[in-house]
Amino acid sequence: MILFWAIGAALAAAALLLLLRPLLARREGEGGGVSRRAANIAIHRDQMRELDADLAAGKVAPAEHQRARAELESRLLEDVDAPERAVPRRSGRGAALLVGIAVPVCALALYFFIGSPRAVDPRADPSADAHAISAGQIEAMVQRLATRLRENPEDAEGWKMLGRSYAALGRFAEAVDAYAKAAVRAPRDADLLADFADALGMVHGGSLQGEPEKLVQRALEIDPNHLKALALAGTVAFHRKDYAAAAGYWQRMLPLVPPASEDARAIRDNVAEASKLAGAPAHAGIRGTVRISPKLKDRIAPGDTVFIYARAAEGPPMPLAVLRRSAGELPIDYALDDSMAMAAGMALSAHPRVVITARVSRSATAKPQPGDLQGASKPVANDAQGVVVVIDAVVP
């Protein structure tokens, strides 16, 4: 069973890499999503079966049975149609990239709905397929949700869920209509506005120019650190050849993803490409090593978070570049450069001398807390190499 999934995952990843490599660096999938979805569907089947049995036994009235069934279907749709994370899309190829991402996502969803995941398990009971959820049932659930919303049109969350359901089914025009109704009732929902812009872009042939861009900017006004909105805003700028703006939007995504993840690597590649096209000179960055003092070694745990960041020796206190690692990796070889900037216009290369600080945090919060362990370098050039930082002090 495990071997089957491993081989299937490897083949799918290889195919996607070949398809999407010319368009955008591949993003890393989120672990655990498949098993959670399968578990939700299995629980839904059991609850639906018990509900039908109670009706047959006369334990519940038909009206109560219908209400409970509607609630179960609504919860299932909400779990299945959770919003996906966004990655930057380049140039005018947004539609191709969306298709590349949507195909495996939708195929996986349909497999767990229509197919039988347990069929590949030799221990599975063949009779279990009798309760499999069909494509017609999924369509029926979506239709019932649409009907309920016509009766209760002020349910913003319901319209939002309906939009995601239509988008997952590839019915983008209907998704746009549902998102529009949700946006009227929840105009300051950044998640909704970003999803609305994405679906509207699909209706417009993959282009985010015009109204989709306005929706993206509204989302960023509400939440300047919204990951999907930043990705879409960068795509819009890249498409109109405003490469400096694209790099700026994508740089703002870096602190929002795990620094050592495939997502971060892909975003940094995109920032580098946009910066190159914008004519910005490449910055070598700072490299060095972070070590823990022997006297403090017993005070850290492998799961503690290590923040490594650069600040201007003379200038604003805001970090210019940030890297997040695990204490279990100490000693850590690090590299800080412009692609890790915390905000547009706060590039490491813009400040000739900087101080490198490393801090161990048990709470994993960016703000220093009493008891955190910390160390800092002397002021060094912004392209210095071999800068050693020793964590040797306790934050009071």
Q: Are 251 and 344 in contact (CB under 8 A)?
A: yes
Give me the sign of the Cα torsion angle 261, 264, 270, 271. negative
Most confident of 1-10, 91-100, 301-310: 301-310
CA gap 69, 61 in Å, rounded:
12
Note the pLDDT of residue 281. 61
CA gap 221, 228 in Å, rounded:
13
- Domain identity same for 231 and 327: no
- Domain identity same for 341 and 379: yes
Whether residue 368 has pLDDT greater than 70? yes
Q: Are 34 and 108 in contact (CB under 8 A)?
A: yes
Reported confidence tier of residue 269, pLDDT bands at 50, 70, 90: confident
Average pLDDT over residues 201-220: 91
Q: Indicate the SS3 state at residue 376.
A: strand
Average pLDDT over residues 204-213: 89
Quick one: tokens of 352? 């000739």
Q: Indicate the SS3 state at residue 83.
A: coil
CA gap 177, 360 in Å, rounded:
48
Whether residue 64 has pLDDT greater than 60? yes
Most confident of 23-37, 280-294, 312-326, 349-363: 349-363
- For residue 194, tell me if it sits in a domain: yes
CA gap 311, 168 in Å, rounded:
44
**How many degrees, rounded to 5, is the angle at CA 117 between CA 115 and CA 120?**
115
Note the pLDDT of residue 194. 94
Reported confidence tier of residue 341, pLDDT bands at 50, 70, 90: confident
Q: How is residue 91 annotated by DSSP?
A: T
pLDDT digits (tens, 9 = 90+) for 97-147: 444 444 434 433 433 333 333 433 433 444 444 344 566 777 888 888 888
Beta bridge pairs of residue 333: 289
- For residue 48, tell me if it sits in a domain: no
CA gap 262, 268 in Å, rounded:
10
The sheet with strand 387-391 has its strands ordered as 332-336, 286-292, 387-391
Task: Using a cut of 0.75, tell me whether the model's pTM lies above it.
Answer: no
Q: What is the domain count for the chain? A: 2
Q: Which of 116-130, 181-195, 302-316, 324-338 has the lowest mean pLDDT?
A: 116-130
Task: Report which residue type is found at 270.
Answer: N
- Domain identity same for 313 and 384: yes
Note the pLDDT of residue 372. 94
pLDDT digits (tens, 9 = 90+) for 168-184: 888 999 999 999 999 99
- Can you give the CATH number for the domain in which 296 is found? 2.60.40
CA gap 376, 74 in Å, rounded:
53
Reported confidence tier of residue 296, pLDDT bands at 50, 70, 90: very high
- Domain identity same for 249 and 182: yes
- For residue 49, tell me if it sits in a domain: no
Residue where a domain terminates, one of 211, 242, 276:
276
Reported confidence tier of residue 285, pLDDT bands at 50, 70, 90: confident
- Domain identity same for 125 and 153: yes
Q: Which residue has the tokens 């079966």?
A: 49
Peptide bond into 331 cis (omega under 30): yes
- Domain identity same for 150 and 120: yes
- Domain identity same for 259 and 382: no
CA gap 221, 219 in Å, rounded:
5
Note the pLDDT of residue 3. 40
Q: Are 274 and 243 in contact (CB under 8 A)?
A: yes
Structure-model confidence comparison of residues 14 and 295, the more confident one: 295
Average pLDDT over residues 284-312: 92
Whether residue 379 has pLDDT greater than 90? yes
Whether residue 213 has pLDDT greater than 60? yes
Using alpha carbons, list the distances in angstroms from residue 299 to 290, 304, 373, 389.
Answer: 16, 10, 9, 18
Whether residue 31 has pLDDT greater than 60? no
- For residue 59, tell me if it sits in a domain: no
Quick one: tokens of 272? 């580098």
Reported confidence tier of residue 314, pLDDT bands at 50, 70, 90: confident
Average pLDDT over residues 275-303: 87
Most confident of 10-19, 23-32, 288-297: 288-297
Note the pLDDT of residue 167. 87
Average pLDDT over residues 332-345: 78
How many Å separate Cα 384 from the centre of its chain?
33
- For residue 379, tell me if it sits in a domain: yes
Whether residue 15 has pLDDT greater than 60? no
Note the pLDDT of residue 251. 84
Whether residue 22 has pLDDT greater than 80? no
pLDDT digits (tens, 9 = 90+) for 220-238: 999 999 999 999 999 999 9
- Domain identity same for 236 and 359: no
- Domain identity same for 228 and 313: no
- For residue 225, tell me if it sits in a domain: yes
Note the pLDDT of residue 110. 38
CA gap 373, 362 in Å, rounded:
9
What is the torsion angle, in degrees rounded to the nearest 10, for the CA atoms of residue 241, residue 245, residue 250 and residue 255? 170
Quick one: tokens of 73? 């279907």
- Domain identity same for 126 and 220: yes
Structure-model confidence comparison of residues 164 and 55, the more confident one: 164
Give the side-chain half-sphere CA count within 13 A for 314. 3
Reported confidence tier of residue 334, pLDDT bands at 50, 70, 90: very high
- Domain identity same for 263 and 200: yes
- For residue 104, tell me if it sits in a domain: yes
CA gap 347, 319 in Å, rounded:
10
Note the pLDDT of residue 330. 94
Reported confidence tier of residue 361, pLDDT bands at 50, 70, 90: very high
Q: What are phi and psi of 241, to 5 degrees?
A: 65, 25
* Helix 227-239 with 190-203: angle, nearest 10 deg: 40
- Domain identity same for 346 and 272: no
Quick one: tokens of 148? 């309920």
Q: Are 327 and 304 in contact (CB under 8 A)?
A: yes
Domain that holds residue 323: 286-394
Structure-model confidence comparison of residues 157 and 24, the more confident one: 157
- Can you give the CATH number for the domain in which 213 is found? 1.25.40.10
Residue where a domain terminates, one of 249, 276, 303:
276
Residue where a domain terminates, one of 214, 241, 276:
276
- For residue 67, tell me if it sits in a domain: no
Mean pLDDT for all residues in the chain: 75
